[in-house]
A and B are shown apart, each in its own frame.
Chain A
């Protein structure tokens, strides 16, 4: 009892200070989070869901087959494309927008000539990330529930005890990813010629 009283008396002088210091942060969090949640409720709600969690739902909706795989890829990836696009749009240098307006650009011209190319590198990065995510979505979907596809093949090969087929499947996946990566980089070089010089 005595010790409790002691701790209480030592903590009380500190107590009034703590909330006073924390209040600004509390206000910001209190105002900001609901505001953000109201602005993009879908993003806040769907963002935490890993793509695998969509598998049961899509099977219930669409059964097993190609449409279900497409749905998995879409549901697992659109959110990343959206987030990358919104973020990179927000990061376009406001000075460049001001400069464009000063040179007589209309709203539409600012979108086309400044915001789109300014956000493009970020959007393409988002697409590359999405590509990797989509690929693992497909394979997961195929391994969990599918009759055909590379993922299904590897899964079945395991049941047959066919080690060679499992390995061949994995090498195929690896090569596909490498090729897809190369293609994405090529697209990036073609679409962002100015970035090439910046890196050099």
Chain B
């Protein structure tokens, strides 16, 4: 088997909480991400998905264990792992064009070539005609497309996506999911995609990693053998229902475990029940 592009080895991440004991967000998390795959990290909110992605991007450092890119530990913000933020994080003072050109500009690419690169990705995300608009003038779906174009133009080796479509309406989300699949099929870039929706994971992923309730660990890894290209109709297949039931069984166990733990602590939290069936 080829060397994994991204890997986590027994990673733990603890956060200080006031003067009380530390909060363990992730504990004993190990995972290998294969080059070129679209991997979905699935789990209830609060189980440590974003924390794990921030570790992969080098925004924070693990409390124990190691996070590696091509076998090298990630020790600072890693531009080879491009992050697509849920809240877009577009530069409000830059036009669509300038936002998309940002990555190439930072790499020292000349003006003319930069324009070409930007034009290609603006075309890819179907935003031609909006080059001179500012992010504030665009809808949520269009802004998320700009972030996608911006990160693709920066050409990282891995795309890290933190519930990028969670804030979109159902129809726009579906369109964006199909576009992401098309982009992935064309570029064969490695993608780590976070979601708390089983449906979304089943539509997008090559492999699905189900995370446990906090502290987050890998509960199970499933291969998604649903036929490609996947369109909406894939949800009608018996295989889709079977996989969904299988994943739900894993998730449900975690929800119960989490609920019992909270009850024992006397602080019921609803976080774990947030997974969408």
Contact = CB atoms under 8 A, between A and B. Distances in A.
A104 B106 contact: yes
Contact of A98 (B59, B91, B94, B154): B59
B162 to A, nearest CB: 12
B139 to A, nearest CB: 13
A122 to B, nearest CB: 13
A194 B87 contact: no
Contacts of A101: 77, 79
Interface in A86-131: 95-96, 98-106, 109, 113-114, 117-118, 120
Nearest to B59: A98
Contacts of B107: 104
Contact of B137 (A98, A102, A192, A197): A197
- Chain B: number of interface residues, binned into ranges: 20 to 34
Interface in B48-81: 57, 59, 77-79, 81
A103 B150 contact: yes
A198 interface: yes
Contacts of B92: 194, 198
Contact of B134 (A100, A118, A194): A194
B91 A105 contact: no
B164 interface: no
Interface residues of A, number: 22
A53 to B, nearest CB: 39
Given A95-B85, A103-B103, 18 more contacts: A98-B83, A100-B91, A101-B77, A102-B57, A102-B59, A102-B82, A102-B83, A103-B79, A103-B102, A103-B106, A103-B151, A104-B103, A114-B91, A117-B93, A194-B92, A194-B136, A198-B92, A198-B136
30 contacts: A96-B89, A96-B91, A98-B77, A98-B83, A100-B91, A100-B106, A101-B77, A102-B57, A102-B81, A102-B82, A103-B79, A103-B103, A103-B151, A104-B106, A104-B107, A104-B154, A105-B102, A106-B106, A113-B91, A114-B91, A117-B91, A117-B93, A120-B93, A192-B93, A193-B134, A194-B92, A194-B93, A194-B134, A194-B136, A197-B137
The 8 closest A-B pairs by CB, nearest first: A104-B106, A104-B79, A99-B89, A117-B93, A101-B77, A194-B134, A103-B103, A194-B93
Interface of B: 57, 59, 77-79, 81-83, 85, 87, 89, 91-94, 102-103, 106-107, 134, 136-137, 150-151, 154
